[in-house]
Structure formats: C-alpha cells, structure tokens
Structure 1
Amino acid sequence: MKKILALFVASAFAFSCADDDPLATDQLAGGPKLVGFQESFTSVSYFEDLGTIEHEFPVTLLGLGNGQLSSEDIVITYDAAPESDAVEGYEYDFAEASKQVVIPAGSTFAMIPISVHTGNFDPVVKTTLKLKITAVTTSGVSYAEQNRILDIYFIGCQSTLAGDYNVKTTRKDTGAIYNFPGETVTMTAINTFRTETVGPYRVTDFAAGANAGYTFIDICGVIKVPLQNLGDIYGNEVKGMTEDGTDGAVVSSSYFSVNYQIGFGTPVNSVWRPFTSEYTRI
C-alpha cells in the first residue's frame, strides 16, 4: 500500500506515491548497457591536516540492455574535466596512474580511488574536482551522458548553522507567506543540515514515519539543496532551484536563505512550486 501524505490545507493536492515506485536507475532490463555515477555530487571535508587519505567513489552499471550482467570486464577510463578548479598534486592525486577502473564480469560497480591531501584544503572556499568518465573500452557498453561527471567538493570550511531560527517561507509564484517561529535546524553530518519545515508544511502535517523538513548542505557559505523525497518517504520530490547548486547563501552568522522547489502533479512531479525560506537566528 502506497503511503499517502495527509496535509491539513484548504485545497486538495495530487500527491504521488513513493515506496514501490522504482527509480530510473532501477530499470536495469531496458535500454543500452550504460555506466555512470548515480550521484551528481559528493563532498570531502577536512578541517585539519590528517595527511593523505584515500577515498573511493563508485561508478555503476545504470542499464543492462538485455537484462543480463556483462560476461566480460568493463574497462572505464576517467580523468579530471578541464572545468575542475581543484589542483591535482596539491589537493588530490589519482591513486591509479592509468586512470582506469574495471567493473568485473558479473558485477555492477567499481570504485575509483583518489588520494586526498587533507592539509591543503582552502579554509575559506571550496574547490571542485569534476571527475569525468572519458571512455568505456568494452564492446557494447557506453557511458550515460547525464551521469558522466561526478562533482567532488573539497571543503575546508566548517559550517556552524545549527541552532534555532525564526523562519519566513514565501511561495514565489503566489506570494503566500508562512511564518514558523522557533524552528530548530539540526546538523546531521559535516556541513549537512535538516530543517523542521519545508514549504508550508510543518512537523504535524506529515504522517508517522516521515522525516519533516528538508536537507541542505552549506559549502563555504553557498547552500545546495540535493534532490530528495519529501519527508524521505513520499514520491513528491524536493530540490534546489539551480543547476549549479547555488540554491542559497549564508549572509551572516545570524541569517541565511534557501531557494528550493517541491514537485506535485500527475505524472509524478510534473508541476514544481518554488519557495524561498529565510532563517533569522534567535
């Protein structure tokens, strides 16, 4: 039985369903054999010099064509895209000199190892390694263009946004305003936070088991809202307003704002409602 979100509002919304709706990447039996990154970005954060630490980033089979796993190894070549501003040899090095990784026959993923030099992170601004698949040399397998690049943010600036705020949320297409006094913003991971409200919806508007609010990431004063399911269980999605991840800004130690949108409609998330939430520290 699909979960339905009961929101106590005047008009009826067409909510989509979540638990048994497959993700696009679950459709392994259709389309060509493709590899790529399942996420568009990830972050690596260090605030002190811990030396060189190796991190691994997965590259995955996103489609299987005829539904069968590959009977031979899939060889993938990668490199830093020219748009990267992180410096190879200073903030990071590729652990494999060949810049190749292999998804073994019968498997669905491989890990790309990168050596991270933690003592060389900028304490004020992030830098970005745009990890790009450059070739797939196995016959019958290619890369998914929209999943070809993984942005790896190197972050040396620690966010301190956790705390209590008065929140003013504006629906941008109608001008409707929703005020939420005394909202707590909680840090859930390094530079990652969870609010208690999203759009016009507060904790009491969600069904049991849902996670109220939305998740955002503070990357050296620039806020990004990653794609996520509303309440973590519904098919309705929440995401930022921009393609480049500049979805908000930390203006001062007592004020920041975030721009995001919530998907509604039939088919799923065919209508997006834009919101701006302003947070003033109490």
Structure 2
Amino acid sequence: MRELVMQIEEAAGVIRRRWPGPARVGIILGTGLGSLAGQIQTEATFEYQTIPHFPRSTTIGHTGQLVCGRLAGLAVVAMEGRFHAYEGYSYQQITFPVRVMRALGAELLVVSNASGGLNPQFGLGDIMVIEDHINLMNGNPLVGINDDRLGPRFPDMSAPYDRRLIDKALEIARRENFVAHKGVYVAVVGPNLETRAEYRFLRTIGADAVGMSTVPEVLVAVHGGMRVLGLSVITDMCLPDCLKPANIEEILAVAAGAEPKLRKIVLGVLDFVQQGQ
C-alpha cells in the first residue's frame, strides 16, 4: 500500500506541474458521454499514457485522456474514458485515477455509465440516478493492506451516493421535463452480456439497471471520503421475456442521444455544489 501512495503522488505530481489545481470535482465520463468534456473550460489535457501508472483505455467510445479545467465555476478533473475489469485490469488499476483525483483535491466524484435497463418502467435514453448498488464483480479494490492516509480499513457504505445530490438531480430532470428515475445499479464483470436467467436473477435481487463499471470507482471514492453522484443512461432494455440481441452501435447512439440530458443534470448539480451545497 505504501507503494500505491507513492504511485498516486507521482501521477498527481506530473499533473500539478502543468495544472496546479486544486481540483474540487472528479468526473468519469462513460460510454458515449465523453462530449461533456467539451463544456469544460480546458486548462490542461493529459493523454493517459503520459501519466505515470495510468492504464490505457481499450473500449470503443472512450477517448483516453484526462481533461483539467473549470466547469460551472468549479475546478474539475474529467476522465474521457474509463477502465474495466473485462479489459484485464486489476481493481486497483481501474480505480487508480480516482485516487489521483482525490490527491489533487477533489471532494466530489461524478460518475456516469451506459447500462441495461432491468426495470420495465424504464425506457431507452432514460437517466437513472443511482441511489444504491449491488456489487457482483469478482473483486474489490479495497482488498489488501490498508493505508490510513487513503481511508479507513472498514469504510461505511450505508449511503455511498449523496442523498442531497440525488434529490437535486431528480429535481433538475423534472424542471427540464425529461425522464429520470432513482434506482439500484448492479455491477457485473462482463464482457459478455447476461442470459435471460441472469437478468431475471438480477431483477429479483433488487437491481434496476446493470453494467460493467462504476462500483469499483465508487468504493474507492467513499474510502477516500468523497461525495458521489452516479448517473446511468439506459441504453438497452434487458427484459428476459422480450429480449433482443444487443448492438454496440445502437447502444452508442442511444448514449449520444441522452448526452444533453446528462449534461443538464451535471451542470445543474455542479452549480448547486458551487453555491455551497
């Protein structure tokens, strides 16, 4: 763990030499949602390969760079492209950028993803504000020797997603007249999609949407004392009795179409935070 702390400081040091910060917010932009970075008043960008110990993104639709600047009046660090367990990375590697964001000063993590809808009340392109999650991945980034400089040995997960920010996100959606739900996200490893029986199981245990990311990053953010806002775009429906084969091009198209809604929520929430909330 001491080695991890040194790696975090090395990566943060490279960023600080060109962008002193300090950051207030870290943002992870998921599949098809990277265009939100275009709203940032960019002050510095870093290709992932130029940052020590950063993995390389191999997923379609993920640019692979860190954007530093200002958004809604706040200093932000935004990831255009994230890492997944199905790419072969460890959970420590997947979450390393969140550790770096925290080292740069970020107190809030905004994380977005594309996910499959399990709740029959959802529709394509809807936004789900994550109120809780279920971790069905095969690992946890907090396993191993704990370093108290990064966070407590046994972080509490009774409310990993900030309730005030959840309420604000839903309020923004109502005001802007688009559909947003509150729901439970379940994380699986992938890369294959689930069977009909698995979708039935996931719905039975209380999940509203399923995806292959987000939970590791949230675990590390909570471990580091950060507030978290999680947003899912429902890009395909996973209803076992009327299941259709998924198509990555269609998923990306739905995600891109939902981007304006996601942008309104993120900007509105950041304005709320800027006001001291």
Same fold flag (TM > 0.5): no
Output the TM-score relative to the length of structure 1. 0.22
Between Structure 1 and Structure 2, whose CA radius of gyration is higher?
Answer: 1
Output the TM-score relative to the length of structure 2. 0.23
Bigger fraction of residues in strand: 1
Bigger fraction of residues in helix: 2
RCO greater where, 1 or 2, for CA within 8 Å and sep 6 or more? 2
